[in-house]
Structure 1
Amino acid sequence: MDITENAVRDICADAVFERGERYLADGRIHRIHRVNSTVTAVVSGSRQYDVGVDLATDGFAPWCDCPYDGPGACKHVVAVLLRCVDDPPADEGDRLDTALDGADADELRAFLRDELATDADLRDRFLARVGEPTRQSVDELRTAIDRRFEETNPEYHVVFEPIDFTQWFDLANEYRKQGRYASAATVYRALVESLDDNMESVDGAYDHFSRAFSRALDGYVDCVTTAERDADAVTDAVEFLEERMTSETPFLAEHFEKAAVEFREKLGEQSEE
């Protein structure tokens, strides 16, 4: 888990690296924590930005909720990574393990239940982790995602900055870990539909939204072809992709067409096995 300046340079532009150095020198990093290989921090710029990196992953899997849409990582991520080069935060994993080992089971259960009762996102991830299939439909999930677009700039309905879709990608990933591919496909499809239908309101951070759309579409195709399915489910997926080729977002049509071709190819490979 050693991290070097050269490794940081590899994931960003030279100018961004220099700005990240200045941010670190100016003391803009706050509330930095590490649990195992995951580092989270708050970095102050024009506002406070949440940053996350994984020191054990190639490229560090960086995430930041700033509006940067240039090549590579942003200056906030670079600043956090450079802090980890010079002065890595202490790993709090052992402290958490010790606290969990010493916690009373009934108190821990009561605490978890209270948190689950008030945090819907945490509740969804918890149910996915323990093997429960999703009870939410594509439309129900879409409503929550669409709301993020509406809340970003409610007066003009124009989106200038990135929207954080992490909770839905994390939820889909949790279902995949549990082998619940149909549930994961439901989450990915909600993301695909919402991003497709709201893309014309985007007026900034295009790379951020394009990456989210591609990630969701790829995840949808992978999960549908992996899940146990009947003929109706396969037909529904094909019709969905073909319908979206004539989407209201013309420049995304080719992505749906490519996904439909990939879907058929995967189905053909599976039928030959």
Structure 2
Amino acid sequence: MQLFSKNDLKSLATTSSYQRGLEYYQSDAVRKISRKGNTFEGTVEGSYRYRVKLTIKNSDLDFDCNCPYDMEGICKHCVAFGLAILNGDFTETVAYASVAEDAQLVEEDTASFEERFSEAAPSVKEEFLRQLLTKDVSLRSQFLHFMQSRSQTSSVKYTPTSPMEATSEQIHEALSELAFDEDMHEEYGRSYDDYYGEGDELDEMAVEMVQEVLEPVLKQVSALVSLGKFMEGWQLLLAVYEGIRLVEEPESDEYSLFDGRSYQEFILEVWESLLKDLASGISRAVIPEKDIRQALDFLIERYTLYDKQFNRYSERAQVWYELGNFERVLTALMVSPAIASYLQTLLEKHQLIDTDTADLMLHIAGVTRNETLWLKTAEEFAAYKTDVAQQLLDKHQAKQDMPSFIRVAKLVFGKNPVLFDEYILKHLKPEQDRDFYIEVLTYYTQRKQSIENYRQLRKYFTSESRSAFVKSYANGYNPLFYIQLLEAEEQYKKIMELLKQYKNQEVQHFDQMLATVAHLYPDECMDLVMEKAEYALQQTDRRGRYTYQHITSWLKVLRSFPALAEQVRIFSLHLYDENSRLRALREELQAAGLVRGR
């Protein structure tokens, strides 16, 4: 059974991403794919080898790719990956689900891991550890460093070093010397072909160029972490960041990629996407908590150092830290409540709790299970961070604390109504706060211009309010919505007057407009459609299949009314016979079933 279709992929991707994904697939860029249940994993060769994963849940396609693409729709690698799956280019692996489930049941039905571990004899632990370390060289290195760290009585003081500064300068120079010009297209646009310049292609090429500078160094960081040399890796990571902060403009920007946006901020977007893999590696590594504290101290020292040196009047790029740029790795380092509390203390001591670190504080509260801290932080930043506001609303809604939910909902709706109107309507009932409910529903109806929403809203309006609401759309950009509003208010005569004004005009959704009054004014609607169709066919610049499809759509609406069926048949035959040279019109009339046996 086919789990999805090419149309599903097209709906998830932009036109250019789909086309380029097709080219990737056709050039055999997709490597071995394995399937386990409804999850597919594999790699796609691009400028680098990217890992792609697809999980299918209830017909929803959940793609994940570790490339830095972060724009509309899925990336080209996901498209290529999906096409390969559709072609059956994968192997199925045996899912030992029953074994895993049995193991989970054993753990749940007996004791927790901590209890079982404490019960195990030292010899059993030693045998398990020895086998584990024998099979993994990186774990052996981490173990040796862990033992060394435990035996040290004093910590090493990490201060700015010349190697660190040298790395920063190398990163700064490499990024500054990138040229976004014709050579970029020659070097990085090999797979773009005729689609070059149509959409995100230039941005993607720029991403690949920046990746090529950053990724090798971040891989060094990851290697140092896996070998137990965490502080060396940490210093290298900060050196890369400081190098990024020194960047001003690229050597060349012929395509004006960075007009209206900062080149440095663009680089940091790539940086943060690459930190995903590093954070994953840190999560798997065994790092002494003493080293983690030391790393956090060092980060704050660098922050403080450059904060003191910062000159707001300088026109040159300066190093300055935003801790939010390190959120992925800092989250991975919170291996225990003690470490999370230590980071909280540092942030509080240096007055670094702001919008940049709000998400970190929420994570700290989660690790330390400090509900009071979580609520305090969320309340403080809900007005400034939509993701925090959403989490806070979810929490109040889950606890069925409607007074708190409504209070926060009013705050965030006032700040950013377009992001929260639908969510609020989903969880707020009119009887819980009638005035607020009407305010949100009114805004949502105006934004969506949906007649279904208006039918619900009008129940709360006075006749004066309904009249004012409808009148406000008389000259709007969406005439269909205005006519639907008039229909809801049973102002059919006004609708008919408007339709006659559109006799010689192109207007979208005229068929739907006709449907609102054809049952009341059948003859007038028939006359109008005949005149409108004849006029459209007389305009040579408007002839074409698109116009013919509109004409047939009007006739199909009128045919649905028995009183007009015969008139529609006769007029359709007239159009067919009198326009023998308009082959596309005749085809559309036949396809719509308006003309038969011709």
Q: TM-score of the superposition, structure 1-length normalised?
A: 0.51
Q: Which residue of 2 aligns with 1:198?
A: 324
Q: Which residue of 2 aligns with 1:66?
A: 67
Per-residue deviation at 1:82? 0.3
Q: Which residue of 1 aligns with 2:526?
A: none
Q: Counterparts in 2 of 1:1-273, with a 5 A limit?
A: 2=2, 3-56=4-57, 58-93=59-94, 113-114=132-133, 150=237, 153-154=240-241, 155-156=243-244, 158-161=267-270, 162-163=273-274, 165=276, 197-199=323-325, 233-245=370-382, 253-269=385-401
The CA deviation string for residues 138-193 of structure 1, in whole angstroms up to 9 with x for no partner, is xxxxx99xx6x947944325524223648989xxxxxxxxxxxxxxxxxxxxxxxx
Task: Say whether the 8 Å CA contact 2:375–2:392 is kept in structure 1.
Answer: yes
Task: Say whether the 8 Å CA contact 2:40–2:53 is kept in structure 1.
Answer: yes
Tell me how far apart the structure 2 counterparts of residues 30 and 111 of structure 1 sit (CA, whole Å): 35
Q: Unpaired runs of 5+ in structure 2?
A: 101-123, 140-229, 246-266, 281-321, 328-358, 404-598
Tell me how far apart the structure 1 counterparts of residues 46 and 391 of structure 2 sit (CA, whole Å): 38
Say which SS state the counterpart of residue 60 (structure 1) adopts.
Answer: strand
Say which SS state the counterpart of residue 63 (structure 1) adopts.
Answer: strand
Rg bigger for which structure?
2
Say which SS state the counterpart of residue 35 (structure 2) adopts.
Answer: strand
Structure scoring higher RCO (CA < 8 A, sep ≥ 6) equals 1
Per-residue deviation at 1:52? 0.8
The amino acid of 1:263's aligned partner reads K
User: Compared with structure 1, are the counterparts of its residues 254 and 160 closer, same or farther at alpha carbon in structure 2 (3 Å cutoff)?
Assistant: closer
Say which SS state the counterpart of residue 60 (structure 2) adopts.
Answer: helix
Q: What's the RMSD between the two structures over aligned residues?
A: 4.9
Per-residue deviation at 1:46? 1.7
Tell me how far apart the structure 2 counterparts of residues 150 and 241 of structure 1 sit (CA, whole Å): 30
Per-residue deviation at 1:57? 5.2
Q: Unpaired runs of 5+ in structure 1?
A: 101-105, 120-142, 170-195, 202-216, 247-251
Q: Which residue of 2 aligns with 1:213?
A: none
User: Compared with structure 1, are the counterparts of its residues 266 and 70 closer, same or farther at alpha carbon in structure 2 (3 Å cutoff)?
Assistant: same
Task: Say whether the 8 Å CA contact 1:65–1:164 is kept in structure 2.
Answer: no
- Percent identical pairs in the alignment equals 16
Tell me how far apart the structure 1 counterparts of residues 10 and 50 of structure 2 sit (CA, whole Å): 21
Tell me how far apart the structure 2 counterparts of residues 166 and 264 of structure 1 sit (CA, whole Å): 33
Say which SS state the counterpart of residue 12 (structure 2) adopts.
Answer: coil
The CA deviation string for residues 218-260 of structure 1, in whole angstroms up to 9 with x for no partner, is xx79x97xxxx7xxx33221112134458xxxxx534334433
| Count of aligned pairs | 187
Q: TM-score of the superposition, structure 2-length normalised?
A: 0.26
The amino acid of 1:53's aligned partner reads L
Tell me how far apart the structure 1 counterparts of residues 387 and 78 of structure 2 sit (CA, whole Å): 29
Say which SS state the counterpart of residue 156 (structure 1) adopts.
Answer: helix
